[in-house]
Structure 1
Amino acid sequence: MTTADSSAKPRSANSSIYSTDIEHVRTAPLKNRFRYKSFSWFVDLDDMPRLRTWVQPLAGFDARDHIGDPERTIRENIDAYLAERGIDLHGGRITMLANSRVFGHTFNPLSVFWCHDPDGALVCIVAEVHNTYKESHAYLLDVDEHGSARTPKKFYVSPFNDVDGEYRMRLPEPNERLHLSIVLQRENQPPFVATVTGKRMTADTGAIIRTALAIPMAPLRVVIQIRWQGIRLWMRGLPLRSRPSAPAVGKASR
């Protein structure tokens, strides 16, 4: 969780905030483009932001919001997830792109963890996905030098898509700019494409206040926008797909 310090400024050397634009594009069986704005934090799991007490309600991080044991730290849970799959970073850096808690609320459609060895080389990426049914799943990605990977879809995200097909993900670690893309490929169907783009801001108190004012209660707004979009698609005749049980592997403990 975020460390409290009433006198300290936010540690921003390893933390950034990205003002983001998220877009979903589908072309069949009907055409639809869904866009919304939000913001995400980029943090080092060994050097989490330390905020003034009065700012903490606007930017909190909690292991309960991610995979693993809620009694451990986010870092410990990612290390445990990797260890179960035979990967040891030997203390290497893990960075995370995720939404923070705002007044106790959060929703992370996608959290990304870039896992490095002690020399700084990227070993793998963990892409954690949440749906609006309070379920989550983590994908372990063996990526190339561009942050690109392919993986079978194993988790029900949208009520309009079955659990089939293959994801083509491009998840380069962000710098001044953030640009992530996920393409769902299914046999004999056009792709479903999701992108996240953004520009980096230093994670100081001013940036936290500005983002909170620009997009009040951002996590709650994201859930509402996604559900309203689902209602609109259903009203336009897009058929619903049944939801299977979430896979146990990578599912968050609550």
Structure 2
Amino acid sequence: MELLYLLGSIIYTSITSIFFSLLLPFRFLLHRLLPSRAAVDPNVSFYEGTVWHDRLRPVRHSFRYSVRYALFDLDKAITTPPDHLSADEARRVSHTTGPIYLLTIPPSVGYEQNPLSLYYCYDLEESSKRLSKCIAQVTNTPWGERVTFVFDPESDLVAKSLQVSPFMDMLGNWKIRANEPGDDLSVSIESQHPHLGNYFSATLKAKRIPLMRVSDPAVFFWLMPHKVAIWIYWHALKLWWKSVPFIQHPRYSNPSYREEAAKRDQELRCPRLDGSDSDKTIKFDGLKADGCSFEGCRFAWRDANWPWS
């Protein structure tokens, strides 16, 4: 049933995308006839770069692909992508006081595919702003589940909290870091596994594109989400061909995987607490853990839609 739904979704997305793509020339012509409607929002920056994936075990498998992102000033941008946090929501989640910027791949011709969206959360100081926290929104394919969590952009260790691939188990942690977006930006994630070690890494490096090169964002991002999806499915097929074990979604084999991830994450940030006492001292209801300045669970999950749910 799920396979049929996936095939149906691919067919539906293809037909919809072809239809909206055929409308793009008319949109471009309209912008030429009405220049006032063609202005690019100055509160949105555009980036072009490369994503690298590198897997060391149980087999070596690496690939790279070109990608385009938009960076939205959520307080000032005229329009922002749907299904994301607002600036005020991001400030509440990150406990920051300054501007919020969202790095994401906008939807294109009726389709959205965002393995990772990133919020840059600033604190206001006397005469400047300082990047204080980041919020990651990780979405898996094809299920569409999402986990949202706050991390320290300089470097942070986060318990793995989402099944991002059927060729990776739920053990271990993510080491994540992100620099402040300027003319260049970079994001890196490493998987630290208790048995396989640092066996997987993903890196994004991108450069800011001058606004004069983006006459129409719809054209600039045309089929970008589709290209990302194709790379995901194609390399999943390659891993299967290389006999990498297929791992069932943990909701079937271990329904309490989210609670376990939250507990591991608290132990990471409260290393003095050993496993025998952690259940007694660490709370998930917003109270402070004993001796640890942290409140509640770092993760917020969004379930998959039917038929994946």
Which range, TM-score by smaller chain? 0.7 to 0.9
2:209 partner SS: strand
**Aligned pairs, how many?**
221
AA at the equivalent of 1:158: S
Match for residue 207 of structure 2 among 193, 199, 221: 199
Which digits, 9 at most, give the CA deviation of each residue in 1:121-161, with x for residues without a partner?
22311111011111110121134xxx221111111101111
Structure 1 residue runs without a partner (length 5+): 51-60, 68-73
Match for residue 126 of structure 1 among 132, 135, 139: 135
Which digits, 9 at most, give the CA deviation of each residue in 1:55-88, with x for residues without a partner?
xxxxxx4332x36xxxxxx2243244x1xxxx53
The corresponding residue for 1:251 is 301
Contact 2:136 2:151 in 1 (8 A): yes
The corresponding residue for 1:177 is 184
RMSD between aligned residues: 2.6
Aligned runs of 1:72-151 on 2, under 5 Å? 74-80=86-92, 82=93, 88-90=95-97, 92-119=98-125, 120-132=129-141, 133-143=143-153, 147-151=154-158
**Greater than 6 Å deviation, 4+ residue runs:** none
The corresponding residue for 2:82 is 63
Q: Distance in 2 between matches of 1:203 and 1:159?
A: 39
Shift of 1:211: 8.6
Shift of 1:216: 3.8
1:78 partner SS: helix
Contact 1:15 1:202 in 2 (8 A): no
Contact 2:91 2:100 in 1 (8 A): no
CA 1:88/1:31 → structure 2, altered by over 3 Å: closer, same or farther? closer
Which digits, 9 at most, give the CA deviation of each residue in 1:177-217, with x for residues without a partner?
1221111111131420101011111345x42558946x741
Q: Structure 1 vs Structure 2: percent identity of aligned residues? A: 27
1:238 partner SS: coil
Q: Distance in 2 between matches of 1:164 and 1:217?
A: 34
More helix by share: 2
TM-score normalized by the length of structure 2 = 0.65
Which digits, 9 at most, give the CA deviation of each residue in 1:60-117, with x for residues without a partner?
x4332x36xxxxxx2243244x1xxxx5334x11111111111221111111111112
Q: Distance in 2 between matches of 1:209 and 1:7?
A: 12
Match for residue 48 of structure 1 among 77, 82, 90: 77
The corresponding residue for 1:159 is 166
Rg (Cα) greater in structure: 2
Q: Distance in 2 between matches of 1:6 and 1:243?
A: 50
Q: Distance in 2 between matches of 1:149 and 1:236?
A: 32
TM-score normalized by the length of structure 1 = 0.78
Q: Distance in 2 between matches of 1:158 and 1:41?
A: 25
